[in-house]
Chains A and B, each alone.
Chain A
Amino acid sequence: MWKMIVSELTQAMQELAASFAHLLPRIIVVVIMALVGWVVAYLLKVILGSILRLIQFDKLSENAGASQLLTKAALPSATNLLCRFVFWVAWLGFILLGVQALGIVGLQEQIAKFFLFLPRLFVALLIMFFGLLLATFLSRATLLAAVNANFPSPRLLSVSVRTLIIIFVLSMAFEEVGVAEETVLMAFGIAFGALMLGLAIAFGTGGKELAQQFLEKRFGQGKKDEGKEDELSPL
C-alpha cells in the first residue's frame, strides 16, 4: 500500500512537474511581458507627461474646473493623474497580453473584452473632461450675462446651466461605457423633461413681465422702458 501511495504521489508529482515544466515557459513569458510592459508604460507616462506640460494641460483643466474637483478629492494634479492612469492601463495591458499567452481559455475572452472596453473608457473620460470644460464656461457666461442684464437670481441660472450640462455629459459618458444604459437614459430623459417643463411653467406664469421685456428687446425696436432706463452713454 505504501508503495501505491508513493507511486501515486510520484506520478502526481511527475505530472505536476510536467505541467509545470509545460507552463514554465509561458510564465516566464508573462514575467518578461510584465517587465517589458513596465518599461513601456513608464516611457509612455514620461512622454505623455512632457506633452501635457507643454500644452499646459493643468491650466486647461483648471479652466474646466476639474482641478478644483481633484483638489477637493485630495487627488494629485490632472497631468499627474492622467499620466498615472495611462501608466497603469498600459502596464495592465501588457500583463494581460502576457496572461493571454498562458492559454487559459476562459480568461482569453475576458481579456479581449477588457481590451475592447478600454477605448470606450477613454472616450467616456474625454467626454466627461470636455463636458466639464463646457459646463464651466457656459455657466460662467450665463452668470455674467445675467448679472449684466440685471436678471434676477443670476447665480441660480448659472448653477442650473452647469448642472444640466453635467447631467447631460454624465449620461453620455455612462452610455458610452455601457453601464446601465437604459436606466441612465430614462432617468436623464425624465429629469431633463421635468426640468424643462417646470421652467416653462415658471417662466410663463411667474416671469410674464420678464418674458415681455425679453421679447420686446429682441423683436420690438426702439421701445424703451421709461422708468428703468437712463440717458447715459458710456462712450
Chain B
Amino acid sequence: MAEESFLTDDFLGQLISVGEVDLMVGVPTYNNAKTIGSIVETIQAGILTFFPRERAVIINADGGSRDGTRQLVNAAIGGAQSSSKLYALRTLRSISTEYASSPARGTALRTILAAAELLRAKACAVISPESTLITTDWLAALLRPVYAETFDLVLPTYRRHRFDGILLTNLLYPMTRAVYGLRIREPYALDFAFSGRLGSQFLAQNAWHEEAARAGSEIQFTLAAIAGEFRICQSFLGTKEHVERHSADLVPALRQTVGALFSSLEPNLSVWSGKTGSQAILTTGAEQEFTLQPLRINRKRLRGMFSTGVAELESVFQSILSSSTLAELQRIAGMDETNFCYSAELWVKTVYEFAAAYHKSVINRDHIIQALAPLFRGRAFTFLMENRNGSAANVEENIEALCLEFERMKPYLLKLWNGSE
C-alpha cells in the first residue's frame, strides 16, 4: 500500500530482529546533535533502573538530520551498555530510522506508533530531543501508569517558569478544559506515554493526510484519547527546560497547537458539545509548579505588536470577529500601558469567535490562525502585568479564574457554532 511504505525495508528488518517488546521509548529527532547523546543515555539508565526485566527498545525516528544525530544515538546506546556502571539483565535494543528527508513531527509520531504496533509494545513513551533536564525518574513516571496500571495516556506536568508557556496557560489549557471537560495541563505534550491500545487506534484513524493533522499530531493524539474515552492521567516529571525561542516561532506554534485544536472541534462535535464544566484527572506528583526567577521580557514590544495588529488587520478581523468584540479591541488598543487590560472575558470571546470563524472558514483557515497572533500578544502582556509580582499560588489562581471564564462562556461558543452567519 502506498500509505504504508513510509516504513523503510531497513527499518522493518530491524523491527523484525527486535521482536516483541514490553516497553518502547520513541525519540523523534532533527538536528539535535547537541542534546541527544545525554538524553538517550538517561533514557537507557531509566529503563535499566526501573524496568530491568522488561524487554525494551529505543526507537529514534529522525527527519533527515545532517549533523550526525543518528550516529550519536547509536553511539550513546553502545557506549553506556559496555560501561560497567549499569548492569543489564537482557539486551536493550536501540534502532534508528530516517523517515523522511525533511522533518515532520506527525510522520515521526506515526513511525513510532507503527513500530509500537508491530512490536506489540504494551507501553510506549515519547521523549522530546530537547528535554535536556530529563532524569531517569521520568521513565518511571511516564511508563509505570501505563505498564503497571491500566492507563492509556500519561501526560506530563512540569516545574516551569510562571511565564513560560503563556499560550498553554492562556489558551490551550483553558480551552481544552472548557471544551472537552478534562483538566489537562499539557494537551500539547512532547513527553508523554501511551498504551498499545490507544496507539493502534490512533494509527488506524485516517487523519494522516491532512496537513493540520501532520503538524499538530501531539494535540490530535490527546484529543483522540479524550474522544475515545481512554483512561488519561498526568504525571509530574520535573523541570522543563527553557528553550530559547524567536518571536517568529509564534505563528508556527499557533498553527500546530491552536490550529490543531480548532480543527478537532468539527469532527468531535458530538463529544464536546454536550459537556459542561470540567473534571480533574488523576495526577501523580504535583499538578504544576512554578518557579519565580526573573525573566527578561520585552513588554513594550508585545504591547506594540498588539496595537499594530489591531489597527492593520481591521479588514481581516471584520470577517472573523463580531462587531462588538472588534470595537472593544480597538478601544483597549488605544489605552496606555498602565491602563491596558485585555480582560479574561474579552479574551475568551475573542478565542471563541476565532474558533467559530475557523469552523466556518470565513477566510482561509491559515490566515485566521495568523490573525490570532497579535491578539495573543496583547493577552500575554496583560497576563505578564497581572502576575509580575505575584507568588506561584497567585499565578495558579489567575489561571484557574481564566479557565472558569472559558467554561462559563462555552454556551457562547455553541451559539456561534450553530448560529446563522
The answer to whether A and B touch directly, with their CB atoms under 8 angstroms apart, is yes
Is the pair A144, B188 in contact by a Cβ cutoff of 8 Å? no
Most buried by A among B166, B370, B374: B370
Q: How far, in angstroms, from A69 to B370 measured CA to CA in the complex? A: 25
Among the 9-residue stretches B192-200, B292-300, B324-332, the one with 4 or more Cβ atoms under 8 Å from chain A is B292-300
- In this assembly, does B248 line the interface, its C-beta being within 8 Å of a C-beta of chain A? yes
Is the pair B298, A229 in contact by a Cβ cutoff of 8 Å? yes
Is the pair B313, A147 in contact by a Cβ cutoff of 8 Å? yes
Is the pair A63, B373 in contact by a Cβ cutoff of 8 Å? no
Among the 9-residue stretches B119-127, B207-215, B250-258, B269-277, the one with 4 or more Cβ atoms under 8 Å from chain A is B250-258
Interface residues of B in 229-273 (CB under 8 A from A): 242-251, 253-254, 257
Q: How far, in angstroms, from A233 to B190 measured CA to CA in the complex? A: 15
Is the pair B371, A235 in contact by a Cβ cutoff of 8 Å? no
Encode contact with A along B26-59: 1 for CB under 8 Å, 0 otherwise.
0000000000000000000000000000000000
Cross-interface CB contact of A224 among B244, B251, B370, cutoff 8 Å? B244
A230-B242 in contact given A147-B313, A149-B248 (Cβ < 8 Å): no
Q: What residues of A have a CB within 8 angstroms of the CB of B296 in the complex?
A: 230-231
Is the pair A141, B244 in contact by a Cβ cutoff of 8 Å? no
Minimal beta-carbon separation of B225 from chain A (angstroms): 19
Encode contact with B along A200-235: 1 for CB under 8 Å, 0 otherwise.
000000000000000001000000100011111111
Interface residues of B in 149-202 (CB under 8 A from A): 163-168, 188
Q: What residues of B have a CB within 8 angstroms of the CB of A140 in the complex?
A: 316, 363-364, 367
Chain B, interface residues (CB within 8 Å), range: 35 or more
- In this assembly, does A137 line the interface, its C-beta being within 8 Å of a C-beta of chain B? yes
Minimal beta-carbon separation of B81 from chain A (angstroms): 34
Inter-chain pairs besides A231-B242, A231-B244, A231-B296, 6 sampled, C-beta below 8 Å: A144-B371, A147-B309, A232-B163, A233-B244, A234-B376, A235-B167
Residues of B with Cβ closer than 8 Å to A?
163-168, 188, 242-251, 253-254, 257, 295-298, 301-302, 304-305, 308-309, 312-313, 316, 363-364, 367, 370-371, 373-374, 376, 380
User: Ordered nearest first, which 8 A-B pairs have the shortest CB separation?
Assistant: A234-B167, A144-B370, A230-B298, A230-B297, A233-B245, A148-B373, A154-B312, A147-B309
